């Protein structure tokens, strides 16, 4: 799949279309704040990819309002059914189903970075690119998140941002690791099933950042 050129007008239209595709005002506002945070992070880590990051942010929750049964049906229709393990954590369904429908419903945004960032935004992945990490972090630390840990991660992130560009990749990994640890703790407290990709990504970054 070739990388697409996306212009400001397409981005504007996508933002406006949220009014029709997302019924919850709370979720629309969350999506717009994720977009804003993705821009903030993009300026630091991927300044040439900001428009694509905005599109990924705007699309990351497009199927979140669908019932779980409908999401199971979509995954089956596209030939990527959820495994027995995955069915134990339905909160992650929307990441796969959103990624699956992008090429058909939003062909103008069917870029591999956008699709994979949407697909991995709830769990993380051992092969987590900078682009994907930005969407993952933006979803967690957008300024409307009410969890104390989300606010703390956000404040800490901007307060201790390294001045040396060479330190930025490790700083990004450390922040993603912090978010994965926090997410795992929250899921344990809720007695929720934890997706194996989350553990694998967490352990991978733990080793990577300690070298
Ligand atoms: Fe989200």
Distance 61 CA to ligand 1 centre (A): 5
pLDDT tens, residue by residue, 183-194: 999 999 999 999
How many other β-carbons are positioned within 10 Å of the β-carbon of residue 69? 10
Distance 122 CA to ligand 1 centre (A): 8
Distance between CA 20 and CA 1 in Å, rounded? 28
Distance 117 CA to ligand 1 centre (A): 12
Place of tokens 């134990």: 88
For residue 211, what pLDDT is reported?
74
Question: Among residues 67, 75, 66, which one has the least CA distance to residue 119?
Answer: 75
Distance 210 CA to ligand 1 centre (A): 29
For residue 152, what pLDDT is reported?
96
For residue 193, what pLDDT is reported?
95
pLDDT tens, residue by residue, 171-182: 999 999 999 999
What is the chain's percent helix, strand, coil content, to nearest 5? 75, 0, 25
Exposed, middle or buried by CB within 10 Å (0-12, 13-18, 19+), for 59? buried
Distance 24 CA to ligand 1 centre (A): 13
Which domains does the chain possess?
Answer: 8-210 (1.10.3210.10)
Distance 14 CA to ligand 1 centre (A): 16
Distance 104 CA to ligand 1 centre (A): 21
Distance 197 CA to ligand 1 centre (A): 18
Distance 23 CA to ligand 1 centre (A): 14
Distance 134 CA to ligand 1 centre (A): 12
Stated pTM of the model: 0.95
Q: Give the chain's residues under pLDDT 50.
A: 1
For residue 5, what pLDDT is reported?
86
């Amino acid at each position: 799949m070739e990388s697409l050129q996306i212009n400001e007008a397409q981005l504007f239209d996508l933002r406006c279309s949220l009014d029709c595709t997302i019924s919850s005002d709370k979720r629309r506002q969350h999506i717009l704040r994720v977009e804003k945070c993705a821009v903030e992070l993009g300026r630091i880590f991927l300044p040439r990819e900001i428009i694509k990051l905005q599109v990924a942010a705007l699309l990351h929750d497009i199927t979140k309002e669908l019932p779980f049964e409908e999401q199971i049906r979509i995954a089956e229709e596209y030939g990527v059914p959820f495994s027995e393990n995955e069915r134990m954590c339905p909160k992650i369904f929307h990441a796969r189903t959103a990624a699956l429908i992008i090429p058909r419903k939003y062909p103008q945004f069917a870029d591999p970075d956008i699709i994979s960032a949407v697909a991995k935004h709830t769990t993380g992945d051992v092969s987590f690119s900078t682009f994907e990490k930005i969407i993952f972090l933006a979803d967690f630390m957008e300024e409307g998140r009410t969890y104390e840990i989300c606010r703390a991660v956000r404040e800490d992130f901007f307060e201790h941002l390294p001045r040396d560009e060479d330190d930025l990749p490790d700083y990004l990994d450390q922040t993603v690791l912090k978010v994965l640890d926090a997410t795992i703790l929250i899921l344990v407290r809720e007695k929720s099933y934890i997706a194996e990709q989350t553990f694998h990504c967490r352990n991978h970054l733990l080793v990577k950042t300690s070298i």
